[in-house]
Structure 1
Amino acid sequence: MKKTILLALTLTAFISCKDDKKTESATTAKTETLAPITDATAENAVIYEANIRQYSPEGTFNAFTKDIPELKKLGVKIIWLMPIYPISMKNRKATGELSVEDIKDPKEKAKYLGSAYAISDYTAINPDYGTKEDFRNLVKTAHENGMYVILDWVANHTGWDHKWITEHPEYYQKNAKGEVTDPLNPETGKSWGWTDVAHLDYANKELHKAMENEMLYWIKEENIDGFRCDVADNVPAEFWQKAIPQLRKAKPVFMLMESNKNYLLKDGLFDMGYGWEAHHVMNDINKGTKTVKDLNNVFDKIAKEYEKNDIFMNFTSNHDENSWNGTEYERMGDGVEAFTALTYLMPGMPLIYTGQEYDLKHRLKFFEKDSIPKAKAKMFPIYEKLGELKNNNSALNGGKNAASFKRLATSNDINVLAFEREKENQKVLFIGNLSKKDQQFTAPIEGTFTNYMTGEKITLAKDQKFNFKPWQYYILVK
């Protein structure tokens, strides 16, 4: 009997010890290795959009996680993960106008993985990418390397397999027959073509709380640092006005919106919007349909219509542009490097999309498995050098307390862009020939500078003539 009691006590102590270790392990997993994100983070950050499916041949969290130290070399401080959730099977997109239901050959059907934006469960992980433990390791590794992780959030619609379709059909928009619909253009009533998703209806106030709770899960349970919100202006502002303050009560978060609507940047809602207008003008300058004058008009419009603490994400590519409109090399031709430099020098935060650092020159498949090249060529050292300048020179601060931005008039403002940024006794100038032809011009710049990209010293006299080749640019550091 004594032996039995002794054995029982020993087993109890052993189990208790194991439980303590579990608790200790869980606590350790939650331990912060990085201070919560602040406004100061956005001042000198580079953001990286990670397409997990296409980043590696494996298409997994683990394959991406091992490369996080490489992103650190590029000055990346925020990692934006494209949707990591399970993808709906029903109405899954295949190719063209076809869905998987239209394809009969099993082998052909199997290769179509669907859109990451057709989500069947907001709080689960796409098993193709790995497990929740793999995801947690990604977040932990990012934090250990001084990077924050934000998740792509799709509040406008769900996949057709989402449990809300059957459990809460009142959460969805419906047609005259009472059937749940895919998203419709409010002006025409016609489908946008996103037939693989079901449109949520925010007239139902219970949906607001349900969606907010799904977002809070990732902050409270998985320690993420914010969200990039898909088609944010297609969701009523009322939802964001309720939800974002609740998210920030749980933890400081960084909120990026796929929109440039100024009303969503006000009153502590979103931190950053898309710099769509500047991006489109850059594309059009290469086409020859617009000039530097149009880009200057964008800068003027931003100064007039937005507040000083509004932040824009500057980019030469992203997942939509790459897959649907072409790589930056298709859209911007030989101007890619100059426009890339511009995204770092102009006010805002520069974006690197998966593969750009490796000179990706093909359109990544959207509904199928694909992969990027992983050999360092021309662009990796350029991104590395630009990232170092962005991270360390306060004259390129682009957040809520941004450095000054002053345009410099040249004798050839149609083709040549010149401006200076300044803060805390630091000054950086950009001069670029944004055209396909040689350009001669003068600019009101004098003094001795370092040409940042080459390291050479340059002394400029008043009214000196410049002769720039097509797409030639200077980054001058005082």
Structure 2
Amino acid sequence: MKKIFLLLLVPALLMACGNQNQRQGNVTGAKSAHPEWAYNAVIYEVNTRQYTPEGTFSAFSEHLPRLQEMGVNILWFMPIQSIGEEDRKGTLGSYYSIKDYTGVNNEFGTLEDFKSVVQQAQDRGMKVILDWVANHTSRDAVWVDAHPDWYVRDSLGNLNIMYDWTDIAQLDYSVPGMREAMIEAMKFWIRETGIDGFRCDVAGEIPTDFWEAAKDSLILLNPDIFMLAEAEKPELNESVFDAYYAWDFHHKMNRVAQGKEPVDSLRVSLQRMNDRFPSYAMPMYFTSNHDENSWNGTEFERMGEAARSFAVLTYMLPGMPLIYSGQEVGLDHRLEFFEKDLIEWKDKSGFSGFYRELNSFKKQHKALLAQEQDGEMTEIANDSPGSVWSFRRVNKENEVVCVFNLSGKTVNVKFNGKVPGKGFSSFPGDSKALPVDEMELNPWEYRVYSK
């Protein structure tokens, strides 16, 4: 049985924490908790509307060779179904206000077009997952008239609205018929298009027993189904979901980058995930996604000069890294959510090579595998823990050593021993690294070594 040991450095204290990587036998009944292709995977979020001038599946397919070369493994398509018109937001509406679960938004093309892009991606060795909005529909969805009792109602009998989502109607999960229809709709996409799984929107708002029933049905169609929860709710990952959003860690990265919290907040966040979640649950780390980009700002607005360092960190921790559409060219624009707003595919700062190198590095090193197949993670003690996070990941003969200055000041840091050690090479590139017991790091500078 393997363990991850994360030594949390706080003043006058080294606190060890463990994450035991032991497969739980009732996860899927398979040999592993997750599909074998998931352990070193990089997930890429596709915003079809903003991806090309045409905004179609067919136009997006022209980018598949580039994404394959970049090292993307999983394509996550934001919802592709038809969008409601009643109380629609903006001109084109929200992807997440779905009118018909088995219909295709003609803005993007046809069902045959989507099947084609799925097949092309899979032929290139990539997997495809579809965003699934099980919590609500549009206010004029086909189910509203056909099954009015499938919805939550307010005290006046009106369709219920959650938060400021005025274009949606909340579904009622106390109704067995609705649950059955929802599962049938999910099965439709696996049968008809051959997708490899789902990213499930606001998964924590939906009863866990629904997801359990859905998973039981879906694995009969695809035993290697991959499920990502937009939630940070441990019980969802006990028997249904492979991965989850590392929301807390993401927010901590933003606050550390802004000088509002110390580096210890990242250590504590990671500790909390290890303590709360099943040992085999994969956190998905990200510096941006569709919500963050459109509503809270680009990674450069939120993280400034720290954006690259935190992107690298998302690859070095046990879990799965995410790239959002346009990040690979350093997109520095908040994309409109309800209107056409084309991504400018011009790489001004070398981000294409940056992500290509990161993806390649992750795949070359077993030490960077995700939960259940990962090895030991140990913090390397240093005299500047308030600014510098230094750690190693070891999986059998493979070792990766990371040093991050997560502060806006230059730091001369001393280690308790030689870093990175003998026989290491520097990343990027493969130049020989000399062991040292101290080094000077510029603001937000990172150094990564491997052997």
TM (normalized to structure 2)?
0.90
Q: Report Cα offsets for 1:173-211 as digits up to 9, x if no partner.
A: 00112222222xxxxxxxx01010001010111111010
The answer on whether the counterparts of 1:395 and 1:428 sit within 8 Å (CA) in structure 2 is yes
Matched, 1:292 2:263: yes
Write 1 or 2 for the structure with the bigger share of helix.
1
Counterpart code for 2:170: H
User: Structure 2: how far apart are the matches of 1:399 and 1:63?
Assistant: 35
In the other structure, the counterpart of 2:425 is: 450
In the other structure, the counterpart of 1:418 is: 390
In the other structure, the counterpart of 1:474 is: 447
Matched, 1:145 2:120: no
Matched, 1:74 2:70: yes
Which residue of the other structure, out of 436, 451, 460, is the alignment partner of 2:435?
Answer: 460
User: Structure 2: how far apart are the matches of 1:342 and 1:204?
Assistant: 43
In the other structure, the counterpart of 1:305 is: 276
In the other structure, the counterpart of 2:106 is: 127
In the other structure, the counterpart of 1:203 is: 174
The answer on whether the counterparts of 1:42 and 1:399 sit within 8 Å (CA) in structure 2 is no
Counterpart code for 1:472: E
Which residue of the other structure, out of 195, 212, 222, is the alignment partner of 1:241?
Answer: 212
Q: Kindly state the Cα deviation for residue 38 of structure 1 after the two structures are TM-superposed.
A: 5.4
In the other structure, the counterpart of 2:353 is: 381
Q: Kindly state the Cα deviation for residue 458 of structure 1 after the two structures are TM-superposed.
A: 1.5
Which residue of the other structure, out of 51, 56, 81, is the alignment partner of 2:52?
Answer: 56
Q: Kindly state the Cα deviation for residue 472 of structure 1 after the two structures are TM-superposed.
A: 0.8
Q: CA RMSD in A?
A: 1.2
Equivalences for residues 42-121 of structure 1 within 5 A: 42-94=38-90, 112-121=91-100
Counterpart code for 2:235: Y
In the other structure, the counterpart of 1:264 is: 236
User: Structure 2: how far apart are the matches of 1:214 and 1:400?
Assistant: 31
Counterpart code for 1:86: S
Q: Equivalent pairs: percent with the same residue?
A: 41
The answer on whether the counterparts of 1:259 and 1:274 sit within 8 Å (CA) in structure 2 is yes
User: Structure 1: how far apart are the matches of 2:83 and 2:372?
Assistant: 36
User: Structure 2: how far apart are the matches of 1:322 and 1:175?
Assistant: 32
Equivalences for residues 168-247 of structure 1 within 5 A: 168-183=147-162, 192-247=163-218
The answer on whether the counterparts of 1:84 and 1:126 sit within 8 Å (CA) in structure 2 is yes
Matched, 1:254 2:226: yes
The answer on whether the counterparts of 2:35 and 2:225 sit within 8 Å (CA) in structure 1 is no
Q: Kindly state the Cα deviation for residue 308 of structure 1 after the two structures are TM-superposed.
A: 1.6
For structure 1, the residue ranges without an aligned partner over 5 or more in a row are 1-36, 95-111, 184-191
Q: Report Cα offsets for 1:343-386 as digits up to 9, x if no partner.
A: 01111000000000011001000000011111234111010000
Q: Kindly state the Cα deviation for residue 72 of structure 1 after the two structures are TM-superposed.
A: 1.2
User: Structure 2: how far apart are the matches of 1:196 and 1:400?
Assistant: 40
In the other structure, the counterpart of 1:3 is: none
Q: Report Cα offsets for 1:199-246 as digits up to 9, x if no partner.
A: 101011111101000000001121111000000000111211111111
User: Structure 1: how far apart are the matches of 2:43 and 2:70?
Assistant: 10
Counterpart code for 1:458: A
Count of residues in Structure 1 that have an aligned counterpart in Structure 2: 414
User: Structure 2: how far apart are the matches of 1:46 and 1:348?
Assistant: 10
User: Structure 1: how far apart are the matches of 2:254 and 2:99?
Assistant: 35
In the other structure, the counterpart of 2:369 is: 397
The structure-2 alpha-carbon separation of the partners of 1:162 and 1:354, relative to structure 1 and needing over 3 Å to count, comes to same
The answer on whether the counterparts of 1:114 and 1:368 sit within 8 Å (CA) in structure 2 is yes
Counterpart code for 1:470: P
In the other structure, the counterpart of 1:40 is: 36
Q: Report Cα offsets for 1:42-61 as digits up to 9, x if no partner.
A: 11100000000011111111
In the other structure, the counterpart of 1:347 is: 318
Q: Kindly state the Cα deviation for residue 69 of structure 1 after the two structures are TM-superposed.
A: 1.3
Counterpart code for 1:385: E
For structure 2, the residue ranges without an aligned partner over 5 or more in a row are 1-32
TM (normalized to structure 1)?
0.85
The answer on whether the counterparts of 2:130 and 2:199 sit within 8 Å (CA) in structure 1 is yes
Equivalent residue of 1:476, what SS? strand
The answer on whether the counterparts of 1:40 and 1:399 sit within 8 Å (CA) in structure 2 is no
User: Structure 2: how far apart are the matches of 1:477 and 1:204?
Assistant: 54
